A and B are shown apart, each in its own frame.
Chain A
Amino acid sequence: MKPLAMTKLSLRNLFKEPVTVAYPVIPREYFPGTRGRILIEPSTCNLCVICDVRCPTKAIKVDRKGQTWTIDRLSCIQCGACVEACPRKCLTTGNQYSEPMTEKSVLVVPIPFVPPPPKPKPPAKDASDAKDSPV
């Protein structure tokens, strides 16, 4: 049993640089894989709604008529299910956390997706063919 077992460690701390970072003067460096917040590249999104369906907390809403992609960052749990499911790879997980909010709000992103024109219908068969065809 020693009375001053901590002394060596404490004295060393006096002459060492602090371990903590002087945030916010020195911003914290995140790792490349840190799950901060979900980001979208609107130009590649085709409003397929898979992210909407897969989101376990229903934080993502996709409006195909209004052409918007909406995320409630306070509900999002950064699980990455939407990023994994996105077929066009337009969703990514950014390593910065979302900004603090003073009131509840959602982020609405307009999607400039133009749906392809409907395929032309195959030409209707001639009336004579219809007559010849068995009933």
Chain B
Amino acid sequence: MSERTVIPFGPQHPVLPEPIHIDLVVEDEHVKEAIPSFGFIHRGLEKLVEKKDFNEFTYVAERVCGICSYIHGMGYCQAVEKVMNVEIPPRANYLRVFWAELSRAHSHLMWAGLLADAFGFENLFMQCWRIRETLLDVIEETTGGRVIFGSAKIGGVRRDVDNETLKRCAAKVASAAVEFEEIKKVFRDDYSVKSRLCGIGMLSRDNAWELGAVGPTLRGSGISTDTRLEGYAAYRDLSITPIVETACDSYARCMVRLHEISQSLDLIQEVAARTPEGPVFEKPKGYPNGEYFARLEQPRGEVIYYVKGNGTKNLSRFRVRTPTFANIPALLHMLQGCELADVGLIVLTIDPCISCAER
């Protein structure tokens, strides 16, 4: 029997955009156990809710994560609106979905590029990020920001987008969708991509369910679930079919995300064509008094926001259950038995967002 060695992985590692540390107990080249440690970028954002006005806290909620920032702000607003019984104008709901889907598409494209970079396919990495740039331009044109949208507001959205701009943006997204199909073909057919991803990081359907995986990690293991089916915002008017793959490996998770990009790009065009006329903001009255759980689908999976108000301008409690946190047990399971060289790739296949997870 060979000797067991502990090899530290992270917090600074070329495949990790954010810091997480995993102690890998290896025997020869095989990982026997993975022990994670967190807390490198904990910022205490949840505690800030006691100091910030509940309206101002929207800015903090958006800064929980730099990639899926908009959906964080939207989730917080949605939870507070439910507490305050505010009915959002339909146009605001459509604009929220427009930006949420842009957020999902650019997040997945960024992830696809990082994955390609992780297995040494730099050309593919740059092609993914080239298309992402088109989406970032659309985001900048409609919200004014590239990373922090700053458009979430309790009671609606902060800025309206005229129909001309929406149509122009939809045309840009349509051309990006055509270009993306070529990239998707490479991911689907290329020999080096498949040889690097197929059969690696297996997570069976039962394990995914029992370990509480969410989002593309769960759907890549053959379980059909998507929080957008709950019908929040304007999703109740749109037809969404969860993307499911049954291979249970890294390649399946990759393909789920790639199909979701196509789905999001189609949804953006549909929303741009169907956005109704009307106001985009309904002023809430009074202060939040009560509690609510809001569930949304982020690029990485289901996210849960809990807010509790006590009738004052400061909320008494705010809590986020992020998808990365839910996917960590599944990741540790995937790492058991894998080869040391595959660890970076497998960690990437859950699309870890450590800023979200640690807040």
B-contacting residues of A (Cβ < 8 Å)?
Answer: 1-3, 5-6, 8-10, 19, 30-31, 33-35, 56, 77-80, 84, 93
Contacts and interface: CB of A to CB of B under 8 A. Distances in A.
B141 A33 contact: yes
Contacts of A78: 144-145, 150
Task: Indicate the size class of the contact surface on chain B.
Answer: 20 to 34
Contacts of A31: 137, 140-141, 144
Interface of B: 52, 56, 59, 121, 123-124, 127, 130, 133, 137, 140-145, 148, 150, 158-159, 182-183, 185-186, 189-191, 194
Nearest to A10: B123
A79 B189 CA distance: 44
Chain B contact residues: helix, strand, loop or mixed: helix
B144 A2 contact: no
B145 A2 contact: no
Contacts of B194: 1
A80 B150 contact: yes
Contact of B190 (A6, A30, A35): A6
Contacts of B158: 80, 84
Contact of A93 (B144, B148, B183): B144
Contacts of B148: 77
A2 B52 contact: no
Contacts of A10: 123
B190 A33 contact: no
Given A19-B130, A34-B140, A78-B145, A2 B150 contact: no
B186 A9 contact: yes
Nearest to B63: A77
A44 B142 CA distance: 29
Contacts of B121: 6
A5 B130 contact: no
A35 B133 CA distance: 18
A79 B144 contact: no
B45 to A, nearest CB: 14
Nearest to A5: B190
B145 A19 contact: no
A1 B191 CA distance: 5
B59 A2 contact: no
